[in-house]
C-alpha cells in the first residue's frame, strides 16, 4: 500500500499509473482511492468512519473519461469524476447517519433473494425435488419451458395474471388448445407447490379454465385391420423405426418406454422389465413393470444391430428420437395418415379384447387396479399376460397375412356385396 498523495488525481494520471508486483492504493483525497492490482486491473474505493469504526465501500471499476453526463452507479465502470461524485454522496449518507456499505449489502441481498425466486429458479427447484414423483418428467419439463422462456427471468411476485394469460393465449394459437391446457396444469401445480413453501400467493386459480375438457381431448383413433396391414408391411421395410413401430403394437407399450428400451432391461426368459423410474404409473408405487415378450417381439429385438445399450437407436449412444420427421416419411410410404404413435397402444388394446379377457388386457397395458383389488390382489399375472401377448401376435399375423381360407371368404363376401 502506498502513502496518500499530496495532490489530487487527474484523468491522465489514472490512465498512466502502472501496476507493480503487489496491490497498490493511490489516494485522491477525502477517503477516495484508486486500487491497482498486479494484473493491471484498476478500481475505485472509499474509506470512511461510521460510529467510530473504519469502513470501506467499493465503488466500481476505473475507466477513462467517456461520458461525464451519465448518472454514476455503484459497481459500474467509473471515471475519476464519477468516482468523486459517488464518494461525495456516500460521505453525505455517513453524515446523515446511514452506513453506505451496509445499504449496498442490503440491496445486494434483496437482489439475490429476488433472483432466487424467479420463475425459472423455482421451476428448476421444483423439478429437482419433485421430479421422481412425476409420471412424465420430460413432458413436465417441456411444458414449463414454454413458460420459462418468456417469463423465466422475472421474480414470481412480479408476474401478473395478465402476463400468464398472454402466454397461454400464445400457446393456444401456435400449439393448440390441448397443449395450452397441459401447460396451464403444469403452471398451477408449480405455483401451488411454491406457495406451500413460501408466502407466495398463486395468481392462477379456478378462473383459469381448460379450453378442452379431458373427455373431449381424449383420442379414440385406432387402426382398422386394413390400415394395420399397411402400417405393418411398410414397417417391415422401414429399418429401425419400422421395427420400433412393430414392437409398439406387439407390447402395447408407450412410445417413450419402447424407444428407451435397454439391453439391461431384458431377461433371458423373454421378459422386458421397465424400471419404475421411467414407467408412467411406476412413480407412486416404485414398482418395476414386467412385460412378457412374445416370440415375434423377441425376434424383432434380436434382429436389431448391437450398437450399444439401446435396442432402438441409430448410433447406440442415444435412444430413438425425432419421431415427427421419421413418422412423416413413414406415413408417405405406408399410405395411412391422421394417426399418432400412441394410437398403436390403443389399437393393441382393442385387439387384445379379441383374444383375451378385459382384465388381462388391462394388465398387459400396466393399468393400475382400482378398489380393494389394488390392496389384496398381488398376483403378477405374467403367464396370463404372456399368453395374451402371444395371442395378440398371432392375431396381428392373421390380419397382415390372412390364411388362404380367409382370403377366399373375403372375396366371396365382396362378391355378395356387388350383387346386392
Is 192 within a domain? Answer: yes
Indicate whether 75 and 131 sit together in one domain: no
Query: Which H, E and C letters describe 206-240, residue by residue?
Result: CCCCCCCCHHHHCCCCCCCHHHHHHHHHHHCCCHH
Sheet containing 289-292, strands listed edge to edge, beginning at the edge strand earlier in sequence? 266-267, 271-274, 289-292
Question: For residue 220, how many other CB atoms are within 10 A of its CB?
Answer: 6
Indicate whether 242 and 306 sit together in one domain: yes
What domain range is 311 assigned to? 225-419
State how far the Cα of 228 lies from the Cα of 235, in Å rounded to an integer. 10
Is 200 within a domain? Answer: yes
Indicate whether 231 and 352 sit together in one domain: yes
User: Model pTM?
Assistant: 0.54
CATH of the domain at 56: 3.30.160.390
* 29: enclosing H helix or E strand: strand 24-29
For residue 204 the three cell numbers come to 392462477
> Which of 74, 106, 138 is the last residue before a domain boundary?
106
For position 178, what pLDDT does the model report? 80
Beta strands in 42-102 (DSSP E): 42-50, 53-61
CATH of the domain at 307: 1.10.443.10
Indicate whether 256 and 300 sit together in one domain: yes
Is 1 within a domain? Answer: no
For position 334, what pLDDT does the model report? 95
Task: Please list the ranges in the chain whose pLDDT falls under 70.
Answer: 1-6, 64-76, 109-116, 135, 205-219, 281-285, 370-371, 374, 405-420
For position 210, what pLDDT does the model report? 58
For position 217, what pLDDT does the model report? 44
Is 293 within a domain? Answer: yes
Question: For residue 407, how many other CB atoms are within 10 A of its CB?
Answer: 11
User: How do residues 69-109 score in pLDDT, each as one tens digit?
Assistant: 555 666 567 888 889 999 999 999 999 999 999 988 888 76
Indicate whether 149 and 275 sit together in one domain: no
Indicate whether 262 and 150 sit together in one domain: no
Is 35:78 a contact under the CB 8 Å cutoff?
no
The domain total for the chain is 3
User: How do residues 145-175 score in pLDDT, each as one tens digit?
Assistant: 999 999 988 888 888 888 998 999 888 888 8
Indicate whether 212 and 244 sit together in one domain: no
Is 3 within a domain? Answer: no
Indicate whether 76 and 150 sit together in one domain: no
For position 207, what pLDDT does the model report? 45
Is 2 within a domain? Answer: no
Is 356:334 a contact under the CB 8 Å cutoff?
no
Is 38 within a domain? Answer: yes
Is 4 within a domain? Answer: no
Angle, CA of 141, 215 and 163, to the nearest 5°: 45
State how far the Cα of 247 lies from the Cα of 245, in Å rounded to an integer. 5
For position 234, what pLDDT does the model report? 96
Indicate whether 172 and 244 sit together in one domain: no
For residue 163 the three cell numbers come to 402476463
> Which of 106, 136, 160 is the last residue before a domain boundary?
106
For position 230, what pLDDT does the model report? 96
> Which of 84, 106, 128 is the last residue before a domain boundary?
106
Say which residue the cell 431377461 belongs to. 267
3-state DSSP call for residue 420? coil
First to last CA, the chain: 110
Amino acid at each position: 500500500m502506498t502513502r496518500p498523495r499530496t495532490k489530487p488525481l487527474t484523468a491522465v494520471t489514472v490512465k498512466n499509473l502502472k501496476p507493480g508486483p503487489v496491490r497498490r492504493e493511490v489516494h485522491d483525497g477525502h477517503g477516495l482511492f484508486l486500487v491497482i492490482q498486479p494484473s493491471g486491473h484498476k478500481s475505485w474505493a472509499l474509506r470512511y468512519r461510521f460510529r467510530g469504526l473504519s469502513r470501506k465501500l467499493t465503488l466500481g471499476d476505473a475507466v477513462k473519461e467517456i461520458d461525464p453526463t451519465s448518472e454514476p452507479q455503484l459497481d459500474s465502470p467509473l471515471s475519476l469524476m464519477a468516482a468523486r461524485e459517488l464518494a461525495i454522496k456516500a460521505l453525505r449518507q455517513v453524515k446523515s447517519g446511514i452506513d453506505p456499505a451496509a445499504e449496498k449489502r442490503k440491496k445486494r441481498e434483496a437482489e439475490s433473494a429476488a433472483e432466487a425466486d424467479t420463475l425459472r429458479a423455482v421451476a428448476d427447484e421444483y423439478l429437482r425435488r419433485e421430479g421422481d414423483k412425476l409420471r412424465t418428467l420430460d413432458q413436465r419439463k417441456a411444458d414449463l419451458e414454454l413458460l420459462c422462456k418468456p417469463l423465466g427471468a422475472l421474480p414470481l411476485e412480479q408476474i401478473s395474471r395478465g402476463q400468464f394469460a398472454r402466454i397461454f393465449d400464445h400457446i393456444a394459437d401456435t400449439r393448440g388448445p390441448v397443449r395450452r391446457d397441459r401447460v396451464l396444469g403444469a403452471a398451477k401445480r408449480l405455483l401451488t407447490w411454491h406457495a406451500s413453501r413460501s408466502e407466495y400467493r398463486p395468481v392462477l386459480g379456478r378462473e383459469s379454465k381448460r379450453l378442452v375438457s379431458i373427455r373431449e381431448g381424449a383420442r379414440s383413433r385406432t387402426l382398422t385391420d386394413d390400415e394395420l396391414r399397411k402400417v405393418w408391411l411398410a414397417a417391415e421395410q422401414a429399418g429401425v423405426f419400422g421395427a420400433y413401430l412393430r414392437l409398439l403394437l406387439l407390447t402395447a407399450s408407450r412410445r417413450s418406454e419402447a424407444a428407451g428400451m435397454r439391453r439391461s432391461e431384458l431377461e433371458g426368459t423373454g421378459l422386458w422389465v421397465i424400471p419404475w423410474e421411467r414407467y408412467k404409473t411406476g412413480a407412486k408405487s416404485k414398482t418395476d413393470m414386467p412385460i412378457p415378450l412374445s416370440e415375434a417381439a423377441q425376434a424383432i429385438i434380436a434382429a436389431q444391430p448391437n450398437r450399444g445399450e439401446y435396442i432402438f437407436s441409430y448410433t447406440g449412444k442415444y435412444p430413438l428420437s425425432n419421431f415427427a420427421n421419421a413418422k412423416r416419411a413413414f406415413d408417405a410410404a405406408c399410405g395411412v395418415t391422421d394417426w399418432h404413435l400412441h394410437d398403436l397402444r390403443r389399437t393393441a388394446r382393442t385387439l387384445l379384447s379379441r383374444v383375451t379377457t378385459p382384465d388381462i388386457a388391462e394388465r398387459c397395458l400396466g393399468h393400475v387396479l382400482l378398489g380393494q383389488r389394488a390392496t389384496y390382489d398381488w398376483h403378477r399375472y405374467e403367464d396370463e399376460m404372456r399368453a395374451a401377448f402371444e395371442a395378440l401376435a398371432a392375431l396381428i399375423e392373421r390380419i397382415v397375412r390372412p390364411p388362404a381360407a380367409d382370403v377366399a371368404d373375403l372375396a366371396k363376401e365382396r362378391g355378395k356385396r356387388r350383387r346386392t
